[in-house]
Amino acid sequence: MKRNVAIVGGGQTYHAARRHDVNQVEMVNEAVRRALDDAEMTIDEMDAVLLGNMEFFEGTHMTDCWMVDGSGVYGRSGLKITTGGTVGATIVCAGAHHVASGLFDRVLCIGFEKQEEGDTGAILSGVAHPLYGRSMAGAAVGYFAMMGTSYMATWGATEEHSAMVAVKARQNARKNEYAHLKLDISVQDVLNSRMLAYPIRILDMCPASNGACAMILADEKTARDRSKKPVWIRAMDTAHNEQFELDWRDVTTKRKIFSRVCAERIYKKLGVKDPAEYFDVFEIYEPATWSELVWYEDLGLCRPGEGFRLVEEGKTGIDGSIPVNPSGGVLSTNCIGASAMLRVWEAALQIRGDAGGHQVPRDVRRALSTAYGGTNWTVMIALSADRDD
Amino acid sequence: MGSDVHEEELISIPITVDVPYRFAAGKYLGKFLVELRDNGTFYGIRCPVCKRVQMPPRIVCAQCHVKNTEWVKLGNEGTLVGFTIMYIPLTDPTTGKPHDPPFTYGSVKLDGSDSVLDHLVNIEPDVSKIWVGMRMRVVLRPKGERIGDLSDILYFEPLEGQVQPE
Amino acid sequence: MSERVAIVGVAQTRFSAKRADVNYAELAYEVIEKVLSDTGLEIERDIDNSISCSHDIWDGQTISNIGITDVIGGHLRNEEKMAMDGSTAVYYGAIGILSSEFNCTLLMAHTKMSQTNRNIVNNDAFDPIYTRILGFDYTSAAALQAKRYMDRYGITGEQTAKVVVKSRANAAKNPYAQVKESITVEGVLKSPIIAAPLREMDIAPDSDGAVAVILASEKRAREITDTPVWIRGLGTCYDAHYLGDRDLAECMALRKAAERAYAMAGIGDPPKGIDLIELGDEFSYQELLWLEGLGICREGEGGKLIDSGVTALEGALPVNPSGGVLSGVPANVMGLRSAAEAALQIMGKAGEHQIPDARTAVVQGHSGFCGQHHCVIVLARD
Amino acid sequence: MAEETNYEIFEVDQHITAHSRYFAGKMGSLFYRTLRDEKKIMGVNCKKCNKVFWPPRSTCGRCFSQLAESDMVEIGPQGTLETFTLITYSEPVHPRTAPFIYGIIKLDGADTGMAHIIDEVDFDDLSIGMRMEPVFEEERKGTILDIRHFKPVS
């Protein structure tokens, strides 16, 4: 990037299945005000406001235009980008591009979803090609179920292992004041929960949440002058996957997989040899338990087929050697358009030491966030307390 | 913290968004759907560079950024590469009709294709009765009832006489 | 701007009322294939970023850039969807290159308006709590704006009809234009009222089509082409959402977006230094109102401008030499098409509708009803 | 490879049908309760801008001040016609059958207008600046159509 970019503030709403007390504009505004307060800045200092959500999820065309009062973009520069579930991270990348370009010094980035207001079934089945598969859309749960059967058959993991991921997420969420599903559950509770699509049970899946996240990115001078704890964006990378060939669920595939390709590229940019050692914390986008195990392997935190050992040995717990999703992750909070931005913001909070109850008990200097959406798309963002390292 | 409890009534506005479309299948998918409807035949298309046979047929090989060129007639039999038992109903959004659970749902690679096709599998919903590698055939609706949609496929069914490997 | 970004190639489909023969991916690939072959560029080797431009509700697919991932070169690579007018894709694509993250970006906008109903689609852009169930769409909202604007400044139906006449005359010279039949002021005024004061001919027709544009950093641009078109200025701005919040006879957001773009480009006293304008005239009155917002004339003088003939193809400041949106360009594609046409003018490749020695062009695009969001881009040969 | 067959143009009609429900928020709820129960119209006063906005909102879009239910004030019910149009086409999303009239009415005491339907008047008799008043529905449900339409003040 031409100019260094720092995260100088952020904020999120509390996340819940029901937010009948606010409309979408007001919910977005909650996150925006928290971000401005956190950065000790005013809306008038924002040179641009960028917004993203899962387009048309709530049945509204051009949400950016409706959100104007809440986002604070009235009279200001701005735009809307949509990339599905990855959009929150895409917006952060867009914000970084804005700042790095030299044309903007302070940029407000917003991601949100008020899932309860939309028609989840209608909109998610609309992801399938209208003339090839929409009439048979198996929904995300069927996809991740096949990933689970493939993983178990190939690597010898059991349903207990995915349940351990489910427990870790919800127990971490209990330490996060903003999280949605704060459940005091055990492996047995997960295994006893309702089966949706073998081997996926309801506690193996992310919830439908309402919520918003906002972040403020700034150039180096602003960061130095105004922020006590700037967090630097060190590298970003995006990999989308083609429309029809969705091999991620087949753990034996020999094809190039979006997640591995993207990780390889971002590690190369940073000179990362051993990601588990290089990064102090990971915030990853795991819509289902099995995908968290596959992420471990694709990110190179362990060898292929050993992901389930990491969770079994507690290595990815808050106090483990490779903490993954101390926030509770997407399994605990999924407000789609905000979910990917929450990964970045939670990673930044860890580096600042401001994560509160779910702060990782170690010196956190570097963090990696991932996003997930579309037909196997990801955006990865690497953060650091140090501008150059 | 907010809460769901409010003294005053909170108002909401229900709106049904209903948008009509006339989708064009285009040159590639159009041929596939017509062949499925009229002849019960599946077609893939081969990339001239990587030779991957893609189904549904599409204009460009995403991997090689070239136009796909060679039409390939695929088999009506294939191999199961993934499966699940669905315990939640699946609603066809184009008709509103649900498939009632539990049912078996599988991913099959038709002979000659490098792509997979997800559909219902006509096996009782029991994970001990189905395995990856199982040979399957496509069962179609009768010709007059086919409309050129994946719903022209009733389900996959296993070929007779298969024994589950140890 | 200290560093520079250039448009190095453009391609457009012939715009037409209905393209039933292709799906939107195939439509998109027509222009992607053409712009790559025209510039001699290859996706894997040369393009390091792509931005598509459309809307889920127009495409009838959730996360509709799934449908063009394959053709735009998005597989295992970077692709983002600008859910706004295509002009904003140019704006954001240029920012990406200025950030040094990318060197060469493929922009593509596509929409098949024929596959759905624009009024139902656009009704969903109105806030659902206070406005949507009243049934508004972009045409009825535009009619409220047109009435307010024309009433305040005494703009006449003859003057807005002249915009349509000019559009058709210019379109007749553009091989890509959809509606080329010539028409008279009387002909426009005889067309039926759709939403008073807007008549059928005052409203852009439904259109199917796509446009692709390639942006490159200065270094790459010099390698790729002898006729780079430099992006000299960029600006965007949002206005208020609710119709009643805005003074519909003015366009604050366009004024601010233009100020931002002009300041960057060093245009101190428009129209001085501007050779042509391509703008988003979804409705005839918009050309006049947007020209006021762009600072080409004073408030309320848009009518005099069209009367004077200045904005005609042979005038001193041609506006929409391409025929503009009134001659048929799809929603979402509009602004990218305007940028492509302005670039062709500066390259000297516009053909029959070429403006002699066009050196500097202003491109305007908007999103939302009555132009809630505006984007202004200044393009130049030098 | 078989010789090229010319395949028919293959098109399929579908709908995307989504049932959404939009929450009005606390201030929006107060607006709708007041409209439904008392036939009164409320806006919100931003003291910093010294402006009264309709519809009510919890953030002033102009100055970003936080506004609350306590800032809400009654406006109208009469107001002034700012602009209007005659709609001659019909769509399923329309609440009326064409021809019908839309207008923007700036209610007394408000600084912003309300877009709504206008009726009980000939289009040709309307003019900008005309005084208008709302006609309320008998059975009100807590939507903007609890105001059936506006008509010229009699």
Instruction: For C110-155, write each residue's pLDDT tens digit.
Output: 999 999 999 999 999 999 999 999 999 999 999 999 999 999 999 9
Mean pLDDT, rounded, for B134-154: 95
CA distance C320 to C317: 10
Q: What is the pLDDT of residue D126?
A: 98
Assess contact for B105 and B120: CB atoms under 8 A. Answer: yes
Mean pLDDT, rounded, for A47-69: 95
Work out how many domains chain D is built from and give that number: 1
Number of H helices and E strands in chain D, helices first, is 1, 9
Fold annotation for C5-117+206-224 = Peroxisomal Thiolase; Chain A, domain 1 (3.40.47)
Does D77 sit behind a cis peptide bond, omega within 30 degrees of 0 on the bond before it?
Answer: yes
- The verdict on residue D4 lying in a domain is no
Neighboring chain A residues of B95 at a CB cutoff of 8 Å: 135
CA distance B39 to B146: 10
pLDDT band at B3 (very low <50, low <70, confident <90, very high): very low
Q: How many residues are given for chain A?
A: 389
D14 contacts A134? CB cut-off 8 A: yes
Q: Which domain holds residue D56?
A: 25-152
Strand-pairing partners, residue A111, are: A52, A213
A295 pLDDT more than 60: yes
Mean pLDDT, rounded, for D141-153: 98
Neighboring chain D residues of C245 at a CB cutoff of 8 Å: 53, 61, 112-113
Assess contact for C205 and C181: CB atoms under 8 A. Answer: no
B1 pLDDT more than 50: no
Distance from CA of D13 to the nearest CA of B (A): 4
A123 contacts C101? CB cut-off 8 A: no
CA distance B52 to B59: 13
> Pairing state of beta strands C373-380 and C360-367?
antiparallel
B23 contacts C26? CB cut-off 8 A: no
Of B25, B87, B150, the CB nearest to A133: B150
CA-based nearest residue to C118, from D91, A48, A252:
D91
Q: What is the pLDDT of residue B93?
A: 63
Mean pLDDT, rounded, for B4-25: 90
pLDDT in tens, A154-169: 999 999 999 999 999 9
B15 contacts C120? CB cut-off 8 A: no
How far, CA to CA in Å, does A200 sit from each of A169, A191, A292, A374, B86? Answer: 15, 10, 13, 20, 9
B62 contacts A134? CB cut-off 8 A: no
Tell me the pLDDT of chain B averaged across its residues.
92
User: What is the dihedral sign for C-alpha D3, D8, D9, D13?
Assistant: negative
pLDDT in tens, C180-215: 999 999 999 999 999 999 999 999 999 999 999 999
Distance from CA of B47 to the nearest CA of C (A): 13
Determine the residue among C23, C144, C198, C283 to mutate to test chain D binding: the one whose Cβ has the most chain D Cβ atoms within 10 Å: C144
Neighboring chain A residues of C263 at a CB cutoff of 8 Å: none
ipTM above 0.95, yes or no: yes
Q: Give the contacts of B27 (CB within 8 A, at least 6 positions apart).
A: B59, C21, C22, C26, D7
A240 contacts C74? CB cut-off 8 A: yes
In chain C, whose CA is at the least distance from the CA of A262?
C76
D57 close to A (CB below 8 A)? yes
Does C197 sit behind a cis peptide bond, omega within 30 degrees of 0 on the bond before it?
Answer: yes
| Percent with pLDDT over 70 in chain A | 99
CA-based nearest residue to B69, from B87, B88, B49, B84:
B49
How far, CA to CA in Å, does C275 sit from each of A8, B55, C356? Answer: 43, 50, 9
**Which token pair is B143?**
């010709």
In chain D, whose CA is at the least distance from the CA of C56?
D16
- Going from N- to C-terminal start, the domains of chain C cover 5-117+206-224
- The verdict on residue D107 lying in a domain is yes
Mean pLDDT, rounded, for C20-44: 97
Strand-pairing partners, residue A82, are: C81
Q: What is the pLDDT of residue B165?
A: 87
pLDDT in tens, B80-122: 999 999 998 877 766 777 788 999 999 999 999 999 999 999 9
Q: What is the pLDDT of residue A137?
A: 65
Of A146, A196, A245, the CB nearest to B83: A146
Q: What is the pLDDT of residue D1?
A: 41
- The verdict on residue D7 lying in a domain is no
D6 close to C (CB below 8 A)? no
Determine the residue among B43, B90, B138 to mutate to test chain A binding: the one whose Cβ has the most chain A Cβ atoms within 10 Å: B90
> Pairing state of beta strands B98-99 and B90-91?
antiparallel
Assess contact for A323 and A281: CB atoms under 8 A. Answer: yes
To the question of pTM greater than 0.95 for the whole model, the response is yes
Neighboring chain C residues of A381 at a CB cutoff of 8 Å: none
CA-based nearest residue to A24, from A235, A246, A338:
A338
Mean pLDDT, rounded, for D36-50: 98
pLDDT in tens, A215-264: 999 999 999 999 999 999 999 999 999 999 999 999 999 999 999 999 99
Q: What is the pLDDT of residue D2?
A: 45
Assess contact for A250 and A238: CB atoms under 8 A. Answer: no
Determine the straight-line distance between the first and last CA of chain B, rounded to whole angstroms: 55
Distance from CA of A120 to the nearest CA of B (A): 12
Tell me the pLDDT of chain C averaged across its residues.
97
**Which token pair is A241?**
């996957």
CA distance C56 to C62: 5
CA distance A343 to A50: 17
Q: Which residue has the higher pLDDT, A137 or A289?
A: A289
Does C318 sit behind a cis peptide bond, omega within 30 degrees of 0 on the bond before it?
Answer: no
Q: Which domains does chain A have, with CATH numbers?
A: 5-120+208-226 (3.40.47.10)
